[in-house]
């Protein structure tokens, strides 16, 4: 119901066509009944409804129609044509309504996923999310278009069939109704087992999708380590398990459908046998018997369909639950009193502590001030909390109120509008991600209407211009999925250029110069100083030469502040900074000596 906007009219017209089709199904057997009893056999018209009797007289009476049976045949053809037109309308409006519904669902789902916290994406497999957005939506569409929209037609067929059957012969109607409760009970009994089976199959399809997605995106790693056979065996094992689940469920459904068909066949047999006996006794006319068998077929068909509907309903319920898991996830929200202040002030971390869900504390009591327009270098071992510090600054992870606070220009970032904050905090992540588009489109992601001159200036500052000049198509070069056609250093420089086009007052470089050589590193830093001298820069790096021009360097050790000072001060203090400086200086001297030799 949440996604019916724009398609309610289509579904209403669809229901109307379904009702007309069902009523046409009801009328045809009555024409046959009147033709057999009143016209061919010449029985009294006293048992007919007054309106039907008057219509019969208007056509010239039974005697005249007996000589012109083509009139009654034409009436059947006319009813059939009405039914065909209604069925055509039903299919057209059903298709329009369902596709509109599914489009709305897809759009809503994608918009919602885009607004979910970064932490939610980290905790959920991309392949599984894709499977929920494709296969589960298709399952829902299939149920809505093929089963749910048939409900009105089925309800009319059931109600009208029973009504006409009771009018013709109440005793035979009771015979026809005897097996139906057993069929319904039997169908409901299997409903729960179907639901569990479909849920298991759906979950395993998600695992299979996640496995395929990981292997496709990590194909270079798989090839580099010669793990093709291992990954192929893993996929085959999961695929075999997934297939066996569907085979097992298929056996259960086949048993259910076959059993339901047997019960339905017994019901038809009872109607045929008892109906024949009633005819022989004179308790039913031949026309009534023919019409009764037709109505019984209309009664049995929906009941036989009940099994398939329950199976599809179980599948759709599982699919909707999996879609609901995404839609029920809480989006990132601004505070009610969120503001959009200038973000060119001092950055302050006030006794910040943080731990990821279910993990030990990553940051502990970080108390730090970064003056506006300065560069803070950040150094630390793996897992020391360097990246976490920048994630908290950009609110990729929310900082709980009891874990301190972060302010920019004296304003708590929790009270700053998210779009405003992220527009003014430019980030180059540790693992640069490029979209499967042209280089120009990747650089313009942050500013779609970027003038050509500014794009080239950003590329120049990131030392990317020379690389682009070497491409035959320049900025129109297609970089491939995740930038696969570029080297690691080229991807990092493209990511830096993409961030620079925003001209953000705060810039974060999360070890984003690690893949470029020392000379290019120095050139990029000099270009940044010339072009963005007033910006506040957070520079994470393991390279001392990269940190040497920072105003301050923060050294983290297991989430705690180990050292803080200028590069010169830290070189003269015992600690991690001096140790790394000595190691890297010795390495450089050795390389220079080898070069001279």
Closest CA to 299 of 334, 338, 331, 267: 267
Q: According to the model, what pLDDT value does residue 72 have?
A: 83
C-alpha span between 396 and 570 (Å, rounded): 31
- Average the pLDDT over 254-260 and give the result: 80
C-alpha span between 367 and 160 (Å, rounded): 78
C-alpha span between 108 and 329 (Å, rounded): 13
The second-level CATH assignment, the architecture, of 8-327 is Up-down Bundle (1.20)
Averaged pLDDT score across all residues of the chain? 82
C-alpha span between 63 and 46 (Å, rounded): 16
Q: According to the model, what pLDDT value does residue 382 have?
A: 82
CA distances from 363 to 366, 386, 404, 506 (A): 7, 9, 11, 21
C-alpha span between 102 and 517 (Å, rounded): 50
- Per-residue pLDDT of 522-563, as tens digits, reads 777 777 777 666 789 898 888 888 888 888 999 998 889 998
Strands in 506-510's sheet, in edge-to-edge order, are 425-428, 506-510, 536-540, 375-380, 552-557, 560-565
- Per-residue pLDDT of 204-237, as tens digits, reads 887 888 888 778 777 767 777 778 888 888 889 9
What's the token pair of residue 147?
């089963």
- Per-residue pLDDT of 563-584, as tens digits, reads 899 989 998 888 888 888 888 7
How does DSSP classify residue 339? B
Work out the pLDDT band at 405, boundaries 50, 70, 90.
Answer: very high
- The correct CATH number of 347-596 out of 3.40.50.300, 3.40.50.1820, 2.30.180.10, 3.30.420.40 is 3.40.50.300
- Per-residue pLDDT of 434-482, as tens digits, reads 888 888 888 888 777 778 888 888 888 888 888 888 888 888 888 866 6
C-alpha span between 41 and 62 (Å, rounded): 10
Helix then strand then coil, in percent of the chain rounded to 5, is: 65, 10, 25
C-alpha span between 253 and 307 (Å, rounded): 9
Q: According to the model, what pLDDT value does residue 283 have?
A: 83
CA-atom Rg of the chain in angstroms: 37
12-39 burial: b if 16+ Cβ within 10 Å, else e? ebbbebbbbbbbbbbbbbbbbbbbbbbb
Q: According to the model, what pLDDT value does residue 44 have?
A: 62
Q: According to the model, what pLDDT value does residue 63 have?
A: 74
Closest CA to 165 of 266, 21, 284: 284
Q: According to the model, what pLDDT value does residue 587 have?
A: 67
Work out the pLDDT band at 597, boundaries 50, 70, 90.
Answer: low
Q: According to the model, what pLDDT value does residue 431 have?
A: 77
Q: According to the model, what pLDDT value does residue 86 have?
A: 92
In degrees, rounded to 5, the angle at the alpha carbon of residue 370 between the alpha carbons of residues 405 and 557 is: 75
* Domain locations along the chain: 8-327, 347-596
- Per-residue pLDDT of 411-434, as tens digits, reads 999 999 998 998 889 888 877 788
Q: According to the model, what pLDDT value does residue 311 have?
A: 66
Q: According to the model, what pLDDT value does residue 413 have?
A: 92
Of 35-39, 292-296, 385-389, where does mean pLDDT reach its minimum? 35-39
- Average the pLDDT over 358-369 and give the result: 89
For residue 193, is pLDDT > 80?
Answer: no
- Per-residue pLDDT of 6-61, as tens digits, reads 788 888 898 889 888 888 888 888 788 778 877 787 776 556 667 767 777 777 77
Q: According to the model, what pLDDT value does residue 85 have?
A: 95
For residue 1, is pLDDT > 80?
Answer: no
């Amino acid at each position: 119901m949440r996604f019916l906007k724009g398609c309610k009219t289509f579904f209403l017209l669809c229901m109307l066509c379904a009702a007309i089709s069902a009523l046409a199904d009801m009328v045809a057997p009555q024409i046959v009944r009147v033709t057999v009893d009143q016209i061919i056999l010449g029985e009294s018209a006293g048992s007919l409804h007054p309106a039907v009797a008057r219509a019969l007289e208007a056509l010239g009476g039974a005697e005249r129609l007996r000589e012109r049976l083509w009139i009654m045949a034409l009436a059947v053809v006319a009813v059939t044509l009405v039914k065909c037109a209604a069925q055509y309308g039903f299919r057209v409006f059903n298709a329009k309504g369902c596709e509109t519904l599914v489009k709305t669902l897809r759009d809503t789902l994608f918009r919602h996923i885009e607004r979910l916290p970064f932490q939610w994406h980290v905790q959920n497999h991309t392949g599984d999310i894709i499977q929920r957005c494709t296969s589960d939506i298709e399952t829902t569409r299939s149920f809505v278009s093929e089963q749910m929209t048939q409900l009105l037609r089925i309800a009319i067929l059931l109600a009208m069939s029973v009504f006409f059957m009771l009018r013709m012969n109440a005793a035979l109607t009771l015979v026809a109704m005897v097996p139906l409760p057993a069929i319904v009970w039997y169908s409901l009994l299997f409903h729960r087992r179907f639901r569990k089976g479909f849920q298991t199959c759906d979950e395993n399809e998600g695992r299979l999708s996640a496995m395929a997605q990981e292997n496709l995106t990590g194909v270079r790693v798989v090839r580099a380590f010669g793990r093709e056979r291992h990954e192929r065996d893993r996929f085959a094992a999961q695929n075999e398990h997934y297939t066996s689940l569907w085979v097992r469920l298929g056996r259960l459904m086949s048993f259910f459908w076959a059993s339901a068909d047997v019960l339905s066949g017994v019901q038809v047999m009872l109607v045929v046998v008892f109906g024949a006996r009633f005819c022989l006794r004179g308790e039913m006319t031949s026309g009534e018997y023919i019409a009764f068998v037709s109505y019984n077929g209309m009664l049995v068909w929906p009941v036989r369909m009940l099994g398939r509907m329950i199976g599809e309903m179980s599948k759709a319920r599982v699919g909707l639950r999996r879609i609901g898991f995404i839609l029920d996830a809480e989006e990132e929200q601004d505070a009610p009193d969120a503001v959009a202040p200038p973000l060119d002030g001092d950055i302050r971390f006030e006794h910040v502590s943080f731990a990821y869900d279910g993990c030990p504390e990553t940051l502990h009591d970080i108390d730090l001030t970064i003056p506006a327009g300065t560069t803070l270098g950040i150094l630390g071992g793996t897992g020391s909390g360097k990246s976490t510090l920048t994630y908290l600054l950009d609110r990729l992870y929310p900082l709980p109120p009891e874990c301190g606070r972060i302010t920019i220009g004296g304003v708590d970032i929790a009270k700053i509008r998210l779009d405003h904050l992220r527009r003014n905090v430019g980030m180059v992540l540790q693992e640069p991600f490029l979209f499967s588009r042209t280089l120009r489109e990747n650089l313009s992601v942050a500013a779609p209407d970027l003038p050509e001159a500014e794009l080239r200036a950003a590329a120049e500052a990131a030392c990317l211009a020379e690389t682009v000049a070497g491409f035959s198509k320049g900025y129109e070069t297609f970089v491939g999925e995740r930038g696969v056609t570029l080297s690691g250093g080229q991807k990092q420089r493209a990511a830096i250029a993409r961030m620079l086009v925003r001209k953000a007052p705060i810039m974060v470089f999360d070890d984003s110069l690690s893949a470029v050589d020392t000379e290019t590193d120095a050139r990029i830093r000099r270009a940044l100083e010339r072009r963005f001298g007033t910006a506040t820069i957070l520079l994470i790096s393991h390279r001392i030469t990269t940190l040497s021009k920072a105003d301050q360097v923060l050294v983290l050790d297991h989430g705690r502040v180990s050292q803080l000072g200028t590069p010169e001060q830290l070189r003269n203090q015992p600690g991690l900074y001096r140790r790394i400086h000595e190691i890297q200086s010795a390495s450089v001297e050795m390389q220079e000596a080898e070069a001279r030799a």
